[in-house]
């Protein structure tokens, strides 16, 4: 009877324990039930190309080929020689053939005189940094004098321009596309300005043609296609991290549409860049990584560095000076900073072989120019480092507002490779401690302040290091919705005084729909630090919205600071350099400013994170409590109660024992 | 003792009423709150589709020209005659072919047309007179003495949907005998020009597993791409050695002159898009062996499968669409490995130097070593003869698209397709087999989807999926009906719609979601609540049943 009475409660505890274990392992039986939608089309040897897997209707029907018996399969699926009776079947009558031959001959004749309408250039810039690190920047430029959006004619014949990107441009009516993948953070204060800056992670911004009606749909599909092309997680770009900046990102190519309705900008700060992103990037090059400068791009060296950034920029450019027709430019850039201590074994000695474990033997035969530039501006007398082999060609260019001198190696001339038929540029520092270089004029920093898991404050510091000139910058901040900004707390201070932005564009977030967008035009006083602070509250997410490692924290993308910075050339008025007097009275006008874009660090913010086994624990606990309550109630309701004669008390029993010993009759 | 009995009775009532509450309120409530939304699907119609009864109707027009029938026979000509054939292909697949033959005598204009000097001109002239609808066949019976057909040719099949059939002389007998004598020949013509039973069974190969198919039919059906609403055709020029060879190919003009006419003709079957690219430094996966006998490099047929792997990685999939891609590669071997020849299984050199892979595409090796001498200045500019290349690619394209090689019976002369690359009746053949294939594929997809949804009880079926299923089913029914009525073009169109809708429904992302927990996990969640609640109820019910039994046996014992 006792076992029956307490049975439910005991059983309950046991069951709760067992079911806890059952649910801990979560098998997905469902996947077995659906047949795998995989094509077995008989050509097993053919490696499938990685395509994006966003749309499941891309799979070929699952019934393919599974019907045949093995012998039939063999006969049907084998590579077979094509038998063509060349005389009768294809040549479609003598007339057509004759025509075509004539046409082809004509085309050939004209081709011989006229150059191709596409050209390819490659170059590598090596800049020794004052920290002892070395900065190498590759640029590959393919220019195609064609119009993707010509009416009535589809561009379908690709020579140097990669077909996949061409198809993307035509399908989605893209006017401009800029995508970058970056691993590591560019240290502006140590390294100066990069040629092309990029935020850590993946950044994508696209201008669509004004003929696109459903921009959001095109953007969604485009990100999916690009994630397939570049093997990246760009498919995680959705409306919650996409913004439409109103002023910060203007088109870089020709065209007059500046309505930011057609612009989309997204950053994935968490994206890890590695070999699988480099391989498809290299595949876009006409020569692949077989010849030319691209042989240096070996992933085991490139990713053993403190900064790696690769990018693809597509934009329309002018064909000629008159700009009557547009050409398309594809610029593939790759920048890498090799660390003095990890890659250079702290010896101040660099060579192509040491950096890339390769030397150069030839230029890409398809390239119309192939050059290596080494920055020797601070080394005019060879006092800083020694460069070998020495190139006789020097070239001067104004880069980022500074006049730089470069030593040029032209790979198209065979003399460059010397007698060894191989070029290995070496760079040996002479001085061990190099004086600090000029501080970059514009610099940004960002951090989160505050304590606890409820509120916080974002601080963005913008430095203007120019000694006497103020200049305006545009600050763009895109903050995810789960950091709820309190815009009334926005303060901008410089030199301890309030600095009122002359233009503010703020788009509040919507939960789970879109992020905050904050754009400001701030005037930076000379030689100052401007601090922008805004407070925020951390939202509590739904339990399915947390990523697999929620305690790592949540990223908020870098702020973008873009502005026209006064150039150093114009700053140089104290004429320490020897120069004609007539040239140095008024600051020179034409090179007085240059455009620069600076990215701050991305933020890593902790959000309140629950214990994820909690829902199940809650279920178990509640069920147990309910079951205990219910069990006792049930017992009370259904049990039969009887009055039982109470047994003799303890005192009486004791007395009886004593009485028995004494032999006295019991009570 | 009486109070105890009353108390016991009260306990029993309490247990019973709790059990009743659980059954009447608890279970419906639980059922209602955990129910998933499942839109209603036309299961009965789907199961009807599963057992497929296809009827294919062909209209055949037999036209007797002057001199083939006597005047008395002409008067007695029956207007129409229908003949049916039935085949049980599979337990639940039945085919019925219906040939509706119309007989008439030639009009004056047709007689004029038949008076042309050659069969080809007669064919063209007849085509100008009247255009026969898609899927139909017109057979002109011409006198035996006619000079239109060459010696030993009984039947001439033209570029359109007409055939010329040489009648037999001495048809003095009754009309019945004449028609009876013509019958088998007309049947041969129709099978050549529209469809034969083996074509249709090959098209049904997905549905009918392990059936006895002719080897050729199966090879054809496996080589050809599956029916799809569109195809991407990519021509790639592989130049592994740009330092030595500067290759020029006028692909734009070649596509315009050779490929585009064929694709225009095939427009009702699918949408095609053509593009081309040049890939540099693309090398084959195997090193060709140098053969001293012919002083050339050779690739054996066995190694062809490995040739393509490294190239395939660079071909790239089409970024802009999800249609299947047909690849045609033109490989120009590098200067060190020229010339390069392919050998077939019998160790003979393949004359076209090309080969194809089923459902993938073709590759052709184009040797350029004889374009320059040994002391040539590299790089050499070479202009590729596109006529030669496109001849091979066109033949491969026809194979890949499933335009079957017809093997005409003896005595048949087939007109070559001409500049269009495809005759009308070849297109009809393709349309017949494609419609049947589409119908078979779509019905299989819809049936397996219905089975799947039936199997997984807790999967959500949204309205849009139900809508896709509905439209697939109606399109399928329409396609079957149009086939029955003999409207081939409409049948193909409906079958394409059916296939699209069924695929969209089958691959809808909402149907594959990790949120659908299997039953064992669901019960693991429920057990902590359900077990302790149900066990006492069950036990007390069992207890009561036991007492009842005992009391009855006691009563019976008492009675005894």
pLDDT grade, residue A571 (50/70/90)?
low
Using alpha carbons, list the distances in angstroms from residue A378 to A129, A625, B525.
11, 78, 72
Length of chain B: 560
Are the C-beta atoms of B170 and B403 separated by less than 8 Å? no
Chain B neighbors of A56, CB-CB under 8 A: 507-509, 512
User: Each residue of A332-362: pLDDT tens digit?
Assistant: 999 999 987 777 777 778 888 888 888 888 8
Report pTM: 0.79
CB contact under 8 A, B253 and A56: no
Of B250, B275, B364, the CB nearest to A103: B250
Are the C-beta atoms of A530 and A492 separated by less than 8 Å? yes
Which parts of chain B have pLDDT scores under 70? 1-2, 67-68, 70-74, 78, 128, 146-152, 168-175, 205-223, 404-407, 409, 411, 413, 415-421, 512-518
DSSP label of B282 = -
The SS3 assignment for A394 reads: strand
Q: Give the position of tokens 């992103």.
A: A277
The SS3 assignment for B356 reads: strand
Q: Name, of A7-11, A45-49, A625-629, the range with top average pLDDT.
A: A625-629
A 153-192 residues inside an 8 A Cβ radius of B: 154, 156-160, 162-165, 167-168, 170-171
Model pLDDT, residue A115: 58
Minimal CA separation from A66 to chain B, in Å? 8
Model pLDDT, residue B44: 80
Q: Which two tokens stand for residue B380?
A: 């050499």
Are the C-beta atoms of B172 and B160 separated by less than 8 Å? no
Mean pLDDT of chain A: 78
Q: Which two tokens stand for residue A147?
A: 């119009």
Minimal CA separation from A202 to chain B, in Å? 20
Q: Give the position of tokens 């930076």.
A: A524
> For residue A69, is pLDDT > 60?
no
Q: How far apart (Å, rounded) are the C-alpha atoms in residues A528 and A332?
A: 36
Are the C-beta atoms of A384 and A434 separated by less than 8 Å? yes
> For residue A31, is pLDDT > 60?
no
Listed in sequence order, the residues at least 6 apart from A84 whose beta carbon sits closer than 8 Å to its beta carbon are A90, B352, B354, B391, B392, B395
Other beta carbons within 10 Å of B326: 22
Chain A neighbors of B465, CB-CB under 8 A: none
Q: How far apart (Å, rounded) are the C-alpha atoms in residues B342 and B337?
A: 13
Listed in sequence order, the residues at least 6 apart from A104 whose beta carbon sits closer than 8 Å to its beta carbon are B250, B253, B254, B383, B385, B386
Q: Which two tokens stand for residue B326?
A: 């047909």
- CB-based contact, B222 to chain A, within 8 Å: yes
CB contact under 8 A, A76 and B221: yes
Model pLDDT, residue A125: 93
In angstroms, how far is CA B42 from the centroid of its own chain? 25
Model pLDDT, residue A48: 34
Chain A neighbors of B415, CB-CB under 8 A: none
> For residue A101, is pLDDT > 80?
no
CA nearest to A315, candidates A207, A189, A456? A207
Q: How far apart (Å, rounded) are the C-alpha atoms in residues B246 and A112?
A: 11
CB contact under 8 A, B18 and A81: no
The SS3 assignment for A174 reads: strand
Q: Which residues of B100-110 are buried (b: 16+ CB within 10 A; e: fewer)?
A: bbbbebbeeeb
> For residue A102, is pLDDT > 50?
no
Q: How far apart (Å, rounded) are the C-alpha atoms in residues A413 and A417?
A: 8
Q: Which two tokens stand for residue A173?
A: 């009516």
CB contact under 8 A, B258 and A90: yes
Of A33, A75, A290, the CB nearest to B215: A75
Q: Which two tokens stand for residue A485?
A: 């900004």
Of B355, B390, B524, the CB nearest to A90: B390
Which helix (H) or strand (E) segment holds residue A92: the answer is none
Other beta carbons within 10 Å of B421: 25
Are the C-beta atoms of A571 and A466 separated by less than 8 Å? yes
Lowest mean pLDDT among A21-35, A85-99, A149-163, B497-511: A21-35
- CB-based contact, B342 to chain A, within 8 Å: yes
Q: Which two tokens stand for residue B394?
A: 């066109």
User: Residue range A517-534: average pLDDT?
Assistant: 93
Is the bond preceding A389 in cis, omega lying within 30 degrees of 0? yes
> For residue A82, is pLDDT > 60?
yes
Phi-psi region of A542 (alpha: psi -120 to 50; beta: other; left: phi over 0): beta
Q: What are phi and psi of B111, to 5 degrees?
A: -60, -40
- CB-based contact, B286 to chain A, within 8 Å: no
Q: How far apart (Å, rounded) are the C-alpha atoms in residues A79 and B309?
A: 13
CB contact under 8 A, B520 and A22: yes
Prediction ipTM score: 0.79
CB contact under 8 A, B206 and A7: no
Are the C-beta atoms of B459 and B36 separated by less than 8 Å? yes
- CB-based contact, B387 to chain A, within 8 Å: yes
Chain A neighbors of B14, CB-CB under 8 A: 637-638
Q: How many CA atoms lie within 13 A of A126 on its CB side?
A: 25
Q: Which residues of A393-416 are buried (b: 16+ CB within 10 A; e: fewer)?
A: eeeeeebbbbebbbbebebeeeeb
User: Residue range A24-51: average pLDDT?
Assistant: 35
CA nearest to A169, candidates A182, A180, A179, A183? A179
The DSSP string of B414-454 is E---GGGSS-HHHHHHHHHHHHHHHHHHHHHHHHHHHHHHH
- CB-based contact, B221 to chain A, within 8 Å: yes
CB contact under 8 A, B248 and A108: yes
> For residue A95, is pLDDT > 50?
no
User: Each residue of A415-466: pLDDT tens digit?
Assistant: 888 778 888 888 888 766 666 666 788 999 999 999 888 899 999 999 998 8
Q: How far apart (Å, rounded) are the C-alpha atoms in residues B208 and B398?
A: 25
Q: Which two tokens stand for residue B136?
A: 């139909």
Written in H, E and C, the secondary structure of B75-120 is HCCCCEEEEEEEEEEECCEEEEEEEEEEEEECCHHHHHHHCCCCHH
pLDDT grade, residue A267 (50/70/90)?
very high
Q: What are phi and psi of A123, to 5 degrees?
A: -155, 155
pLDDT grade, residue A476 (50/70/90)?
very high
């Amino acid at each position: 009877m006792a076992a029956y009475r307490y049975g439910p409660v005991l059983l309950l505890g046991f069951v709760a324990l067992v079911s806890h274990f059952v649910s801990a392992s979560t098998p997905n039986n469902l996947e077995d039930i659906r047949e795998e939608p995989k094509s077995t089309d008989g050509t097993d040897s053919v490696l499938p190309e990685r395509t994006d897997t966003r749309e499941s209707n891309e799979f070929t029907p699952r019934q393919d080929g599974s019907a045949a018996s093995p012998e039939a399969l063999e006969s049907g699926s084998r590579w077979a020689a094509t038998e063509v009776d060349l005389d009768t079947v294809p040549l479609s009558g003598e007339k057509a053939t004759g025509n075509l031959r004539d046409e082809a001959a004509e085309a050939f004749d004209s081709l011989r005189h006229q150059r191709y309408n596409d050209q390819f250039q490659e170059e590598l810039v090596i800049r020794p940094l004052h920290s002892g690190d070395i900065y190498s920047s590759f640029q590959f430029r393919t220019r195609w004098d064609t119009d993707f959006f010509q009416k009535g004619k589809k561009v379908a014949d690709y020579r140097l321009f990669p077909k996949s990107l061409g198809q993307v441009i035509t399908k989605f009516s893209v006017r401009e596309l800029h995508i970058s993948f970056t691993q590591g953070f560019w240290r502006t204060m140590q390294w100066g300005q990069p040629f092309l800056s990029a935020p850590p992670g993946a950044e994508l911004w696209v201008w669509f043609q004004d003929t696109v009606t459903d921009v959001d749909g095109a953007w969604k599909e485009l990100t999916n296609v690009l994630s397939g092309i570049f093997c990246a997680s760009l498919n995680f770009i959705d409306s919650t991290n996409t913004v439409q900046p109103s002023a910060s990102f203007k088109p870089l190519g020709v065209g007059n549409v500046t309505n930011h309705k057609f612009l989309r900008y997204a950053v994935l700060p968490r994206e890890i860049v590695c070999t699988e992103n480099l391989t498809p990037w290299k595949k876009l090059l006409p020569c692949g990584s077989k010849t030319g400068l691209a042989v240096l791009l070996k992933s085991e060296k490139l990713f053993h560095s403190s900064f790696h950034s690769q990018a693809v920029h597509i934009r329309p450019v002018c064909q000629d000076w008159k700009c009557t027709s547009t050409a398309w430019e594809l610029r593939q850039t790759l920048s890498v900073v090799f660390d003095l201590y990890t890659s250079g074994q702290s010896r101040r000695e660099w060579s192509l072989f040491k950096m890339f474990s390769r030397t150069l033997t030839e230029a890409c035969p398809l390239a119309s120019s192939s050059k290596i530039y080494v920055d020797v501006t601070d080394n005019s007398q060879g006092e800083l480092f020694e460069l070998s082999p020495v190139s006789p060609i020097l070239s001067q260019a104004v880069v980022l507002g500074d006049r730089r001198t470069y030593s040029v190696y032209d790979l198209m001339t065979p003399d460059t490779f010397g007698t060894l038929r191989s070029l290995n540029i070496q760079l040996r520092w002479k001085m061990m401690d190099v004086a600090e270089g000029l501080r970059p004029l514009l610099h940004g920093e960002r951090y989160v302040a505050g304590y606890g898991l409820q509120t916080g404050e974002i601080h963005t510091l913008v430095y203007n290091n120019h000694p006497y000139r103020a200049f305006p910058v545009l600050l763009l901040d895109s903050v995810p919705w789960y950091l709820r900004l309190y815009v009334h707390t926005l303060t901008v201070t410089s030199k301890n005084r309030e600095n009122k932005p002359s233009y503010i564009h703020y788009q509040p977030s919507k939960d789970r729909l879109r992020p905050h967008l904050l754009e400001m035009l701030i005037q930076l006083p000379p030689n100052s630090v401007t601090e922008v602070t805004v407070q925020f509250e951390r939202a509590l997410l739904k339990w399915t919205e947390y990523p697999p490692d929620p305690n790592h924290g949540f990223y908020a993308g870098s702020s973008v600071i873009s502005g026209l910075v006064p150039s150093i050339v114009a700053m140089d008025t104290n004429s320490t350099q020897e120069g004609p007097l007539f040239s140095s009275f008024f600051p020179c006008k034409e090179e007085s400013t240059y455009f620069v874009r600076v990215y701050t660090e991305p933020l890593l913010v902790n959000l309140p994170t629950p214990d994820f086994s909690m829902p199940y624990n809650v279920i178990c606990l509640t069920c147990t409590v309910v079951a205990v309550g219910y069990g006792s109630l049930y017992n009370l309701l259904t049990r039969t109660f009887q009055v039982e004669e109470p047994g003799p008390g303890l005192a009486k029993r004791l007395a009886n024992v004593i009485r028995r010993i004494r032999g006295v009759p019991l009570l | 003792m009486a109070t105890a009995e009353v108390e016991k009775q009260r306990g029993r009532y309490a247990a019973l009423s709790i059990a009743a509450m659980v059954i009447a309120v608890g279970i419906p409530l639980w059922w209602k709150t955990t129910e998933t939304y499942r839109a209603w699907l036309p299961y009965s119609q789907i199961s009807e589709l599963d057992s497929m009864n296809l009827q294919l109707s062909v209209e055949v027009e037999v036209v007797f020209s002057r001199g083939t029938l006597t005047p008395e026979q002409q008067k007695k000509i029956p207007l129409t005659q229908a003949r049916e054939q039935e085949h049980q292909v599979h337990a639940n697949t039945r085919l019925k072919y219906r040939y509706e033959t119309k007989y008439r005598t030639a009009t004056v204009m047709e007689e004029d047309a038949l008076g042309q000097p050659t069969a080809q001109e007669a064919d063209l002239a007849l085509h100008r007179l009247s255009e026969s609808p898609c899927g139909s066949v017109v057979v002109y019976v011409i006198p035996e003495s006619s000079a239109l057909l060459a010696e030993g040719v009984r039947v001439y099949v033209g570029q359109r949907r007409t055939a010329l059939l040489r009648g037999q002389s001495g048809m003095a007998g009754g009309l019945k005998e004449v028609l009876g004598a013509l019958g088998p020949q007309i049947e041969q013509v129709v099978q050549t020009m529209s469809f034969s039973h083996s074509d249709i069974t090959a098209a049904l190969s997905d549905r009918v597993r392990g059936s006895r198919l002719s080897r050729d039919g199966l090879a054809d059906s496996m080589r050809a791409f599956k029916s799809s609403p569109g195809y991407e055709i990519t021509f790639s020029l592989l130049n592994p050695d740009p330092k030595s060879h500067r290759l020029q190919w006028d692909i734009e003009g070649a596509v315009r002159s050779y490929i585009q006419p064929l694709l225009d003709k095939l427009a009702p079957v699918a949408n095609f898009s053509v593009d081309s690219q040049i890939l540099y430094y693309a090398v084959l996966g195997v090193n060709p062996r140098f053969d001293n006998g012919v002083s050339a490099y050779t690739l054996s047929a066995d190694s062809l499968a490995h040739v393509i792997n490294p190239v395939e990685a660079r071909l790239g999939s089409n970024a802009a669409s999800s249609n299947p891609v047909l690849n045609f590669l033109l490989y120009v071997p590098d200067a060190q490995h020229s010339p390069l020849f392919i050998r077939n299984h019998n160790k003979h050199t393949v004359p076209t130097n090309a080969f194809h892979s089923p459902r993938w595409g073709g590759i052709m090796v184009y040797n350029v070593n004889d374009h320059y001498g040994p002391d040539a200045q590299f790089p050499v500019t070479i202009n590729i003869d596109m006529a030669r290349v496109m001849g091979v690619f066109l033949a491969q394209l026809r194979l890949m698209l499933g335009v079957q090689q017809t093997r005409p019976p003896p005595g048949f002369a087939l007109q070559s397709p001409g500049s269009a690359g495809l005759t009308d009746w070849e297109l009809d053949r393709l349309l017949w087999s494609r419609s049947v294939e589409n119908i078979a594929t779509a019905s299989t997809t819809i049936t397996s989807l219905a089975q799947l949804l039936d199997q997984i009880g807790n999967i959500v079926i949204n309205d849009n999926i139900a809508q896709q299923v509905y439209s697939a089913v109606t399109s399928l029914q329409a396609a079957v009906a149009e086939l029955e009525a003999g409207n081939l073009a409409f049948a193909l169109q409906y079958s394409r719609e059916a296939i699209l809708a069924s695929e969209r429904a089958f691959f809808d992302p909402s149907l594959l979601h990790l949120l659908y927990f299997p039953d064992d996990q669901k019960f693991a969640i429920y057990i902590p609540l359900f077990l302790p609640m149900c066990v006492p109820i069950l036990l007390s019910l069992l207890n009561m049943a036991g007492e009842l039994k005992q009391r009855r046996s006691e009563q019976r014992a008492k009675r005894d």
